[in-house]
Chains A and B, each alone.
Chain A
Amino acid sequence: MKITDLKIDGFGVWHDLTLRGLSPELTVFYGPNEAGKSTLMQFMRSILYGMSPTRRERYLPPVVGGRPGGWLKVDTENGPLTISRYADRGPTDVGKVTIITASGEEQGDRLLREALEHVDEPTYNNIFAVGLREVQELNSLSDTAAAQWMYRLTSGLDRISLYDVIHMLEGTRLRLLNSWEEKSELRSLVSQRETLQGELEELITKGRRWAQSAVKLRELAEEVDARQAEAKALTARARRLEVAISLKPLWIKRNKIDDQLERFTGLQHVEPNTLEVLDDFNKRIEEHERERDVLRGQRRQLRDEANRLNINDSLVRNSCRLNGLLEQTDWLQATERRAAELADEVKQLEARLASENERLAHEWTGAGSHPPRITSDIVEQLTPQIRAIESAAQLVDAAKHELEVHKTGESEFRTQIESATTNGEQMGLPTDLEATTDLVTKLRRRQQLEQRIKGTEGEAETLQIQARDLVEEQVIPIELFVLLGMFFVAGIALFVTWWLLPASILGKYGGWWAAGGIATSTIVALYKFTKETWATERFDHCHYQLESLAEKVESAETELADLDHELAHNGGSVALRLQHAERHLAELERLLPVESQRREVAQALGNAERRLQLAEEKYAAAKTSWKSRLRALGLPESITAETIASMASQCDRLAELEARIENRRDDMQRRQREHHIVTQRIVALAEETGLRLTSPTSTAHLAAGEPPVADTAKDPKKDRLKEKEKITQITRHASAPLEQLEHLRTQYHQHTQRVEQRKGIRERAKTLRLEARKHAQAAIGYRRRREALFQKCGVSDEPELRQLIAKLAEVEEHRNKRAATTREIIAAIGKHGTEADFASFLSEDQIGRLEHDWEALSAQSEELDRHLKDALQRRGAMVEQQRTAAADQSLALKQIELDVVEQQIRKAIDAWRERAAVSLFLERIREDYEQHRQPETLREASEYMRQLTDGKYTRIWTPLAHDILFVDNAEGQALSVQVLSRGTREQLFVSLRLALVAAYARRGIHLPMILDDVFVNYDAGRTRTACSVLRDFARQGHQLLVFTCHEHVWQMFKDINVDCRRIPNRYDEVLEHLEAPRPEPVPELLPEPLPEPVPELLPEPVMVTVEPEPVAPAPEPPRLPTRKRRRVRRKPRVVKQVVEEPELIIEETEEVTYADKVASEIEYWWDSTVPAAETNGHIWHEEDSGLGYLPEPEIRQRW
């Protein structure tokens, strides 16, 4: 891929910048600092690889406006492409790529990837972009690091450096695991693990000691327990003594009460509440006798009240019958109502039946009131004919559907074939397969012929150059001719001298001299003749070959013309036509099976049509058979098979209607009979109870006793009339039985209430009698219980009993006093025991020594407390020690730490293994690289190094299995990179990078190489040499884009006739200030004589614009054509920030014609305040063809 043109719509400081016709070999851009070189480089990368976030941040949005992005035109193997990319879809947009091919087709980024040979941006940066930054980096490294850095270039470098990765892995491995003397992660982890294991063992031992100390603790606890038990016993004894002392007065008091109680022994025991019981008995006897008398008077009053009621007993007895009839009241009403409804319904149904009969008869036969009845038997007899018609109709439908399917299929195939044929015809291609094959063959043949002609012309061109050289060889150079002539003349002169003056000057050897002279002349003459003859022969041979090639070309062109004639080729892309033809051929081949399928479908279509015809005939025969069968059954022929089923169902519905009328009539009669039976039962009950009503209508009807409907009626019409009359009567007299029934119900309700009233009076009288009897018996019972009480207490009457109770009260008072004293004693003892425990202390012989014994025990207790306190303190200390140990979680924490360390060891081991394995793989790759690719790269780099150093250094090499480069000098000394000077290292670096680019080119990857100020540290001589080397390198087919901010470097490139361009200085004033003092015009602007025209070095016409609308370049005119110069003037304005772009005004200026032969032109100029002819200002772009230079107009920029 080679960049030919570019345009920046908006990127960084650039806006609307167009560069055209970049050299396919070497283009040098010069611009001072801040001129925008880096922006230009980054723009190219952005178009190729997208607007990365870093670039977006730095260069977007454009400082002076414009759509962010632009386009590049490149030459690729697929032809010229225009790659445009604009990033205006958002803040993170990397830019949408559009590729436009030479034919104007717009495609996606696939072609871009192919053009870049799938080289990604990091690889591009590492291989094809050489910058000042790398040079500075190289110079900032130590000698060893610089040597390693150089080596990495030769040991595998694309996106990354194999050497870097291998060394990084090695470093990581060593960080994980290193030798015994060095620190490493794994070693420190293992050490940490050992330390933790030791600490764990110590903690375990400590735990065992804890268990052992538990024994001591238990012994101590036992001692404490023993002493505590002893102290407790002493305390208890002392406490008892103390209590006994406090009990002493109470004990004496209780003994005195006991003496008084002994005087009342022998009294009869009486219950404490005897007196209350006696009073209660007396009171109750009096109350019961009074109640009995009151109840007897109330009973007499109730008996009189019952006799005043008057009750109908017959009605009360027949209450069950009456209730039964009353329950049927609703039924009677419903029966009457339902009978009337049924009569109405019968009437409606009869009318509907007549109407239906008339409608169907009219519909089916056209007249009459009764339609033909189509029964299921008739339908069954017609079933075979119906089925025959249905099956025939189905056959017809299936045949029609099949016919339709085949027609559609046939139509699709035909359309497919026609569309393919039409496509071909639209492109002027034959529709026949053989013709298309022939066309493809011819087109391919034509393409081969073109290639052959091109190849032959190339050979002819080479031979012509060779022939020109041979022409020159035919003529002996003048120096040689003079020399040979001198020898020839000298030889002849010697011979003539000897001939004329045999013994004059040459003496006796004159003959020999003459012979020598003759021989010399002869040899010289022979040499000249031989040389000329040989050159002539070679020239003739070359000429013959040229003629032969011309014949071949002619023959091929003739054949080409014939083919063009046959193909009717009138220009245009043959490849495109071939591509279309091949595609069309493939399409036709694909359609071959489609045609055969179409024929098959057409045949099937004919068969389907025949089947349809047969089915229709069959259907007609079935219809005929149907009509004859209808005639046979006496049915009208208008009946169809489809309607016969519907007619049969309608006849069925008529029969159903008749049955329904009959059903309703039977139901009505049954209800009338039931109503009559119930009416008779009501009359009988009224007469029996003497409550019959005397209304004349109801009586007449009810007394008749005849049934309401005559069941034996023969004539249906008469029956219906009678029924109507009866219904009318029933309706008229319907209320009679119901009124009688209501009267009976009212009477019965009144008598029922009276009976209930009498029953209540009887119940109350009975209750009063029972209560009076109870009160009498209770009074007698209480008298008997009072007598029993006297006997129980051993007395005869009530006064004697009251005297005994007074004595017993006095005894009880003494007993209470004793109990109180005892309670005080028990309370004083409290929890210290029982009375029995203190009885020994309070006995008569001991009660006087109590105080003395208490003092002795106190002294003994104090001694024991001292011993116990000491034991408790020792136990507390040990318990605290145990508790501390029990709360110590350090063992578990250490276990966790140990586990963590072991996990980390495992992770580190895994990490080391991963890195070792990757190193293993990468070492294998590096071995392969060093064996197969590095030697070639180094050999090539050696050549570049020799050229760059003018032969001072001749070879770059690396010893086997060593990661270091050596450089041999002209004396054959091998020098390591460390000892090279800074400048030589830079030369070595450039050599290696050039070799890398060449290596990529050998692999078919041709991408433009960018060099950004890589010669900044070179002296003038080295720079000049480097320029030549780069030019030669570019001539080998590599496109180089060199950027420099040093004018002398640019000048050197100009001196060797490469495409040099100047990037405009955007700071107009500064530029003027710097440029003004120059005493002379800038050398590159001066016309210089070209030694010889070198056509192949002539760069393509280049046109650079800073115009919104680029102007097409002129096609290499012999003279500079009329050129439009536009003045670009910027409005002066107050500049707040440097980045602000003033408005650009472009206006047409005068037209200038130059007679000089130039190969380029300047399309647009910056505003000039001085006439172009009088100034030698800087052009910011020019193409230096070596044939002449343009006067440089002044460029003025105002910001």
Chain B
Amino acid sequence: MTQPLRLVHASDLHLEMPVYGLAEVPDHLRDLLVEAPYHAAEQVFETALAEDADAVLLAGDVLNVDRAGPPAIVLLLDQLARLAERKIPVYWAGGGVDVPDSWPRSVTLPSNVHVFPIGRVESLDLARAGETIARIQGTSCPEGGTVDLRGFHRDAHGLFTVGVAHVANTNNLPGAKSDAPADSVLGDRVHYMALGGRHLQQTVDETPGIAHYCGTPQGRGPKETGPHGCTVVTVDETGRAKTKFVATDTIRWIEQTLEVTATTRQEQLHDRMVERIEKLQAQHAGVDLFVRWTIRGTGPLVNRLRPNSLADELLVDLRRRFGQRSPVAWSASITCDSPLSVPAEWYDQETCLGDFLRVVRDFELHETPFDLRPFLPPNVRDELLESVAHLESDEAHKELLCRASKLGIDLLTLPLEEGDIPATT
């Protein structure tokens, strides 16, 4: 093998799933959210063509045929056809949403696509100019089940062996140890295990073989932050494999944290956010950014950073400044999980505000969790809506207590203009 073996490893394309996680989507972002997974998938196949890959490994969850709709299926077939023209084989191990049986019989996949069967590990030869250069093993995930990895094994003659499988949770695999290093089971058997099922890129084992999750090509939700893409695997003459990450996403979720102090003013916070966005745009050039802000610290700003208050004011301004141009930097949300920050003497005030703070403190100390059911309106007739008053855990109670205390402070310190008489709702 004079030329190194080159493979493109991708998984979790989820062509049926647009980008989600926004509470409000303006019109100019709709197409962006719809098209982002398609663009990312195209970039994966474009990478295979540009890198002159010997094969493309798809480790499951490519698309859910039932929920994807014709555009996604057509896109996938077009891209597979492009690879077929260049005679690049595609090895596809079905995952949780793309079980091989679910593929419609009426839609024929190109001849270069090899879909691995369910329940057994199939072994195929990867050839270049009539010479076998690697062995590709793979299996598809049964519907609602897990993959049995015991069938993977290295080639007896030392040929470089690649495994392809969709394994969302390695700890549940048969033969895996209970305390997580089950990941190592994957690496023992083949030289390179192309895994799918996790949306974040991760190498779970490196010796004696590499077990690698390439992640999804496009981060879907707010929790899938940072760059996403596919992995280009290069195997040199000595059989040593190297992975290279190639970003394919067009929308990137970013989590940003800022600290405020008691002396931080609103304008200062705003300026810091603007500065941070400009830096992010320079750092992630050419990519649309969806930024989630987390503000921490102390001081009066902490109390005001809540919905319908300062948080929304800042969001409106940031979206106006950075959310209308291309590439967009859309501030998705601003949250502040720091506890209420008020001067200690407020607790001693003989006012409604002082009373409120003391009651909140009592609840924090003695009465968490608390019951919100009395505030439900009568005759709700909807289980979901009735469950609104039910909080699942103590943590949820504490979090609600924190948010409610800030709302209460906001309401009880409303800046009334002189002479104003509060309305009686």
Chain A contacts to B: CB under 8 angstroms: 45, 52, 54-55, 118, 121-123, 125, 131, 133-134, 137, 145, 148-149, 152, 156-165, 167-171, 173-174, 177-182, 186-187, 190, 203-204, 207-208, 210-215, 218, 882, 885-889, 891-893, 895-896, 899-900, 903-904, 907, 909-922, 924-925, 928-929, 1003
Contacts and interface: CB of A to CB of B under 8 A. Distances in A.
Contacts of A912: 388
Nearest to B69: A891
Interface stretch (B160-168, B209-217, B314-322, B415-423): B415-423
A319 B383 CA distance: 121
B352 A921 contact: no
Given A896-B33, A911-B307, A918 B424 contact: no
Given A55-B418, A918-B407, A921-B404, A159 B351 contact: yes
Contact of B418 (A121, A204, A920): A121
A504 B69 CA distance: 137
A922 B413 contact: no
B23 A904 contact: yes
Interface string B375-398: 111111110110011010000000
A215 B105 CA distance: 9
Nearest to B75: A886
Contact of B417 (A54, A159, A214, A888): A54
A204 B400 contact: no
Given A178-B377, A921-B360, A924-B359, A211 B23 contact: no
B307 A907 contact: yes
B127 interface: no
A145 to B, nearest CB: 6
B355 interface: yes
Given A160-B412, A168-B411, A896-B25, A207 B69 contact: yes
B70 interface: yes
B24 A900 contact: yes
Contacts of B374: 920
A917 B424 contact: no
Contacts of A122: 416, 418
9 contacts: A158-B351, A158-B353, A177-B377, A190-B382, A204-B66, A218-B106, A891-B67, A918-B404, A922-B356
B407 A888 contact: no
Contacts, number: 213
A889 B414 contact: no
A215 B411 CA distance: 64
Best-surrounded residue of B34, B69, B73, B351 (most CB of chain A within 10 A): B69
Given A149-B424, A214-B106, A918 B74 contact: no
Which 5 pairs, one residue from A and one from B, show the smallest C-beta to C-beta distance? Answer: A917-B404, A211-B104, A891-B69, A903-B23, A916-B375
**A contact face: mostly helix, strand, loop, or mixed:** helix
Nearest to B350: A1003
A889 B38 CA distance: 11
Given A157-B352, A1003-B350, 19 more contacts: A122-B418, A133-B419, A160-B352, A168-B425, A173-B377, A182-B377, A207-B70, A208-B104, A210-B70, A888-B70, A888-B71, A909-B388, A914-B407, A915-B404, A918-B404, A919-B375, A920-B370, A922-B356, A925-B355
B6 interface: no
A54 B71 contact: no
B377 A887 contact: no
A616 to B, nearest CB: 61
Contacts of B67: 204, 891
Best-surrounded residue of B106, B407, B422 (most CB of chain A within 10 A): B422
A179 B106 contact: no
Interface of B: 17-25, 30-31, 33-34, 65-71, 73-74, 104-108, 307, 349-353, 355-356, 359-360, 363, 370, 372, 374-382, 384-385, 388-389, 391, 400-401, 403-404, 407-408, 411-414, 416-425
A159 B34 contact: no
A173 B422 contact: no
Contacts of B71: 886-889, 891-892
A159 B404 contact: no
Nearest to B68: A207
A895 B15 CA distance: 12
B425 A171 contact: yes
Nearest to A172: B425
A925 B23 contact: no
Contacts of A916: 372, 375, 389
A885 B71 CA distance: 7
Contacts of A186: 385, 388
B377 A174 contact: yes
B423 A913 contact: no
A101 B413 CA distance: 32
A207 B104 CA distance: 11
Contacts of B352: 156-160, 162, 165, 925
Best-surrounded residue of B106, B391, B424 (most CB of chain A within 10 A): B424
Contacts of B19: 896
Contacts of B391: 913
A55 B419 CA distance: 11
Contact of A169 (B363, B384, B411, B422): B411
Contacts of B417: 54
A891 B70 CA distance: 9
B400 A215 contact: no
A204 to B, nearest CB: 6
Contacts of A218: 106, 108
Contacts of B68: 207, 891
A190 B384 contact: yes
A548 B102 CA distance: 111
A159 B416 contact: yes
Contacts of B104: 208, 211-212, 214
Contact of A921 (B31, B363, B403): B363
A920 B372 contact: yes
Contacts of A156: 352, 355
A133 B19 CA distance: 55
B199 to A, nearest CB: 16
Nearest to A186: B385
B418 to A, nearest CB: 6
A158 B351 CA distance: 6
Given A909-B388, A920-B370, A882 B356 contact: no
Given A118-B349, A214-B104, A903 B21 contact: yes
Contact of A170 (B355, B385, B408, B425): B425
Nearest to B391: A913
A183 to B, nearest CB: 12
A910 B306 CA distance: 12
Contact of B375 (A158, A882, A920): A920
B25 A917 contact: no
Contacts of B22: 899-900, 903
A182 B108 CA distance: 53
A918 B408 contact: yes
B345 to A, nearest CB: 9
Given A45-B418, A137-B421, A888-B69, A177 B20 contact: no
B419 A125 contact: yes
A497 B72 CA distance: 137
Contact of A913 (B65, B69, B381, B400): B400
A808 B22 CA distance: 94
A159 B425 contact: no
Contacts of B408: 918, 921-922
B395 to A, nearest CB: 14
B23 A914 contact: no
Given A886-B70, A889-B34, A152 B424 contact: yes
A186 B388 CA distance: 10
A212 B106 contact: yes
Given A159-B413, A920-B372, A187 B382 contact: yes
A169 B425 CA distance: 9
B404 A160 contact: no
Best-surrounded residue of B17, B104, B355, B381 (most CB of chain A within 10 A): B355
A895 B17 contact: yes
Contacts of A178: 377
